């Protein structure tokens, strides 16, 4: 049993016991709550405490993010903690998690500290930007030795102190020379130059008009110091800001151990919010509430017992879900198959009312990965690396399952490596069970044999896809559909194999056919006509019944559409040639790097060194690209060619209350 049978649960209890009951349901890990139907004289309760908890939840969340950002920026600092909590998975007992409320005051205090730190850092940032901007504006004036305050008007003169573009200095000087009692000095010479113009009051307006024509920018500063002195003052202020910021970072790093408590408290507040929001979907009276949800049928008594331990005034009823209800999907598979649930879920989780495809996905996915990699050495590395990296991840998440998939795929790669007699592209075994697609020294190759084998695997998987379709239709009660839309196509493929076997072998591999055992030839010669009859009969029945639900011309058009669909089916089969292509490219790349490396060995000691490096880099590249290509194309074959024949998907994965934790793994 892969898809676990689910029961609909209805529970009635007193409002005073609601929190204890929800905690008990959480501890079982077996209950997904759903919106409750409103009954007569019942109502929904809007919990006003949600806003207050949300504020605390957000406060703690921002504190955790702040600690993470500071620790990331402080990695090269001497005060960086040796074992920051951010690098650990947090495993917490159920009792400690429920008691997290005792740390609420500490967590909120830390949250307020972080808010203060954030405000101060924001102020430092704004001040730094302002000072840096001032520093940039002072650059043209650094060559001016006088104080800014020295350049001011007198009783009888106007002073114009500021900057112009270097190209404008000459024309400005020429124009100003035409004005009486006006003098211009160039105080710094650069692309943006500083000039000083003194003019008697009577001629100041004329001088200003000329300066304006040439984009003169008056100096806005009146500091009682020179530009150099001001720049030094700014540098001191910037250094002071850096020290203050550094002090905050140091304080945060020294207090990094608090992150663990903050993360636990964050998920605890998240759990509280979930309970409050779920409770808003309950039907209530003045003193009681009614909740509904889904429970694995095998866990019903466990849930009932857990609730009875915290409240002796409850009523629980379990029933079979109605066919119109959306029931969450919970799968129960062995360890190996469970890893491929990750692959299926990337496409879509199975629907509760269909057959779980993961056993088939496991077999075909790993088989195809073995075919593509097909090397003992690569397989050993995949197993070792996959198990090592998966073992470092303590929580059963997608990344861990990905590495387990690679490790299991490595076992199949070793198997096919033995069959092809390939260890890093070199033949090391005294036997070869399958012909290599790579040409040998004598020019012999098993290219067509391996290509046909890959296409045969495509026929097998697509036929199995129609068998899965029949199972799904049988499960839904559509026996007729299962026979005509599923099993008929399985018979079509069986007939096709027997009808075409000798023809395809003779046409595509004449040499192999000539040496084939006479008994095998005779068997398929004898089976060819019955196979053809089965194939055509199955096709006729499938086409004739395809439009059984249609009316009028729809019955005919649906049948023709079914026959025309053979084009898509055989196109899907050709897609499995990618298995052959990926395997062939991997073998050729491995052989090429081996030839280059061994060729360098002839150059002596240095040749052995460089040859070894070439072989190592080449095989590392080939392995990485091979695994990546195998994973992507293998997944594509499952999603498009295989799932396209039967898979409904769009299931809702079983998510018991309290399962959505961001940082904490609660051990119950």
pLDDT at residue 510 in the model: 60
What's the helix, strand, coil split of the chain in %, to 5?
65, 10, 25
Q: What are phi and psi of 291, to 5 degrees?
A: -120, 155
Q: In this predicted structure, what is the pLDDT of residue 511?
A: 61
Contact criterion met (CB below 8 Å) for 631 and 369: yes
Residue 200 confidence class, pLDDT cut points 50, 70, 90? very high
Contact 213, 221 (CB under 8 A): no
**Secondary structure of residue 52 in the 3-state scheme:** helix
Domain coordinates of the chain in residue numbers? 152-218, 335-645
292 vs 668: CA distance, rounded Å: 23
Question: Can you say whether residue 649 is alpha, beta or left, with left for phi > 0 and alpha for psi between -120 and 50 degrees?
Answer: left
* Residues 14 and 311 sit within 8 Å (Cβ to Cβ): yes
Q: What count of other Cβ atoms lies within 10 Å of the Cβ of residue 568?
A: 10
Q: What is the pLDDT of residues 14-35, one digit of tens each?
A: 999 999 999 999 999 999 999 8
Are 340 and 406 in contact, with CB atoms under 8 Å apart?
no
Question: Residue 622 and residue 473: Cα distance in Å, rounded?
Answer: 43
Cα 325 to its chain centre, rounded Å, is 30
Query: Per-residue pLDDT tens for 331-368?
Result: 999 999 999 999 999 999 999 999 999 999 999 999 99
Sign of torsion, CA 621 624 630 632?
negative
Predicted confidence at residue 389, as pLDDT, reads 95
Averaged pLDDT for residues 464-493: 93
For residue range 163-186, list pLDDT tens digits in order.
Answer: 999 999 999 998 988 888 888 999
Read off the pLDDT of residues 317-334 as tens digits, 9 standing for 90 and up.
999 999 888 999 999 999
Q: For the chain, what percent of residues have pLDDT higher than 90?
A: 58
| 338: helix, strand or coil | helix
Distance of CA 508 to CAs 450, 452, 513, 574, Å?
12, 9, 9, 15
Residue from 375, 467, 389 nearest 417 by CA: 375
Give the other-Cβ count within 10 Å of 283's Cβ.
21
Helix axes 376-391, 358-373, angle to 10 degrees: 130
Contacts of 644 (CB under 8 A, 6+ apart): 465, 572
Which pLDDT does position 667 carry in this prediction? Answer: 83
**626/634 Cα distance (integer angstroms):** 11
Of the two residues 1 and 354, the one the predictor is more confident about is 354
pTM, 2 dp:
0.82
Q: Is the pLDDT confidence value at 572 over 60?
A: yes
Q: What is the spatial distance between Cα 575 and Cα 642, in angstroms, rounded to a whole number?
A: 11
Going from the C-alpha of 634 to that of each of 114, 514, 631, 638, the distances in angstroms are: 48, 34, 5, 7
Cβ(550)–Cβ(558) below 8 Å: yes
Give me the pLDDT at residue 449, please. 82
Identify any residues that bridge with 162 across adjacent strands, giving them in sequence order: 195, 218
Mean pLDDT score of the chain, rounded to an integer?
89
With beta carbons less than 8 A apart as the criterion, state whether 69 and 252 touch.
no
Res 13 pLDDT > 70: yes
Say what the pLDDT of residue 364 is.
Answer: 97
Amino acid 513: pLDDT: 61
Pick the more confident residue, 123 or 77: 123
Three-state SS at 322: coil
- Band of pLDDT at residue 72, cut at 50, 70 and 90: confident
Instruction: Give per-residue pLDDT as tens, 596-617.
Output: 988 888 777 787 888 889 999 9
pLDDT higher for 118 or 438?
118
Q: How many residues does the chain have?
A: 668
pLDDT per residue as tens digits for the range 493-516:
999 988 888 777 766 666 666 666
Give me the pLDDT at residue 624, please.
95
Q: Which long-range CB contacts under 8 A does 269-273 form with residues at least 24 apart?
A: 269/53, 269/56, 269/57, 269/60, 270/57, 270/660, 270/661, 270/662, 271/26, 271/97, 271/658, 271/661, 272/53, 273/50, 273/53, 273/54, 273/57
In sequence order, the β-bridge partners of residue 93 are 667
Residues 253-275 have pLDDT tens digits of 988 888 888 999 999 999 999 99
Pairing of strands 32-34, 90-93: unpaired
Residue 241 has pLDDT above 90, yes or no: yes
pLDDT at 459 over 90: yes
For 247, what's the count of Cα atoms within 13 Å in the CB-facing half-sphere? 8
CATH of domain 152-218: 3.30.70.2750
pLDDT in tens, 614-665: 999 999 999 999 999 999 999 999 999 999 999 998 899 999 998 888 888 8
- Whether 205 has a pLDDT exceeding 70, the answer reads yes
DSSP 494-562: HHHHHHHHHHHHHHH-HHHHHTS-HHHHHHHHHHHHHHHHHHHHHHHHHHHHTTTTS-THHHHHHHHHH
- In whole angstroms, give the CA distance from residue 454 to residue 436: 13
HSE, side-chain direction, 13 A CA sphere, residue 36: 24
Quote the pLDDT of residue 642.
95
In three-state secondary structure terms, 82 is coil
Let me know the angle formed at the C-alpha of 200 by 197 and 205, rounded to the nearest 5 degrees. Answer: 75
Q: What's the pLDDT at 520?
A: 72
Digit-coded pLDDT (tens) for 515-559 = 667 777 788 788 889 989 999 999 888 888 887 777 766 667 777
């Amino acid at each position: 049993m892969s898809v676990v049978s689910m029961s609909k649960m209805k529970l009635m209890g007193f409002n005073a016991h609601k929190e204890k009951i929800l905690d008990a349901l959480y501890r079982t890990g077996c209950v997904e709550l759903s919106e409750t139907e409103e009954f007569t004289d019942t109502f929904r309760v809007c919990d006003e405490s949600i806003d207050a908890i949300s504020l605390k939840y957000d406060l703690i969340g921002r504190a955790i993010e702040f600690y993470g950002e500071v620790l990331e920026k402080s990695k090269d600092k001497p005060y960086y903690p040796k074992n920051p909590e951010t690098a650990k998975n947090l495993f917490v007992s159920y009792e400690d998690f429920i008691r997290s409320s005792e740390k609420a005051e500490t967590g909120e205090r830390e949250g307020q500290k972080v808010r203060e730190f954030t405000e101060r850092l924001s102020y430092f940032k704004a001040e730094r930007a302002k000072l840096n901007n001032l520093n940039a504006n002072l650059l043209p004036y650094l060559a001016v030795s006088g104080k800014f305050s020295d350049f001011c008007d007198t009783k009888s003169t106007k002073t114009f102190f500021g900057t112009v573009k270097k190209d404008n200095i000459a024309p400005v000087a020429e124009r100003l020379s035409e004005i009486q009692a006006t003098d211009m000095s160039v105080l710094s010479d650069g692309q943006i130059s500083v000039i000083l113009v003194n003019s008697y009051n009577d001629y100041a307006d004329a001088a200003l008009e000329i300066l304006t024509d040439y984009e003169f920018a008056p100096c806005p500063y009146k500091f009682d110091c020179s530009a150099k002195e001001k720049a030094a003052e700014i540098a001191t202020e910037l250094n002071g800001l850096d020290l203050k910021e550094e002090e905050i970072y140091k304080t945060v790093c020294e207090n990094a151990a608090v992150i663990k408590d903050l993360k636990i408290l964050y998920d605890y507040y998240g759990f509280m919010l979930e309970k409050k929001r779920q409770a808003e979907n309950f039907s209530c009276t003045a003193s009681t509430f009614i909740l509904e949800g889904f429970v694995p049928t095998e866990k019903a008594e466990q849930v009932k017992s857990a609730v009875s331990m915290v409240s002796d005034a409850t009523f629980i009823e379990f029933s079979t879900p109605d066919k119109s209800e959306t029931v969450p999907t919970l799968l129960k598979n062995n360890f190996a198959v469970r890893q491929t649930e990750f692959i299926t879920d990337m496409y879509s989780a199975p629907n509760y009312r269909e057959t779980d495809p993961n056993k088939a996905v496991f077999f075909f996915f790993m088989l195809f990965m073995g075919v593509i990699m097909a090397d003992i050495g690569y397989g050993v590395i995949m197993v070792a690396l996959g198990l090592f990296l998966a073992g470092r991840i303590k929580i059963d998440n997608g990344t861990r399952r990905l590495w387990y998939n690679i490790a299991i795929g490595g076992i199949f790669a070793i198997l096919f490596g033995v069959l092809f007699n390939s260890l890093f592209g070199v033949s090391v075994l005294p036997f070869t069970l399958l012909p290599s697609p790579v040409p040998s020294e004598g020019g012999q190759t098993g290219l067509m044999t391996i290509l046909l084998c890959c296409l045969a695997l495509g026929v097998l998987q697509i036929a199995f896809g129609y068998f899965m379709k029949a199972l799904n239709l049988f499960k839904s009660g559509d026996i007729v559909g299962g026979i005509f839309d599923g099993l008929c196509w399985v018979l079509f493929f069986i007939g096709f194999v027997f009808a075409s076997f000798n023809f395809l072998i003779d046409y595509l591999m004449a040499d192999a056919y000539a040496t084939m055992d006479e008994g095998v030839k005779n068997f398929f010669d004898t089976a060819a006509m019955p196979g053809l009859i089965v194939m055509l009969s199955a096709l006729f029945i499938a086409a004739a019944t395809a439009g059984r639900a249609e009316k009028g011309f729809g019955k005919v058009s649906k049948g023709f559409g079914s026959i025309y669909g053979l084009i898509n089916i055989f196109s899907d089969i050709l897609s499995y040639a990618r298995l052959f292509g990926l395997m062939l490219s991997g073998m050729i790349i491995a052989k090429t790097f081996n030839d280059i490396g061994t060729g360098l060995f002839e150059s002596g000691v240095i040749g052995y060194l460089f040859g070894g490096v070439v072989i190592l880099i080449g095989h590392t590249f080939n392995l990485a690209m091979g695994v990546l290509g195998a994973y992507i194309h293998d997944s594509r074959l499952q999603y498009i060619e295989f799932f396209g024949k039967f898979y409904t998907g769009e299931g809702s994965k079983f998510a018991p209350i309290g399962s959505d934790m961001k940082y904490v793994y609660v051990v119950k």
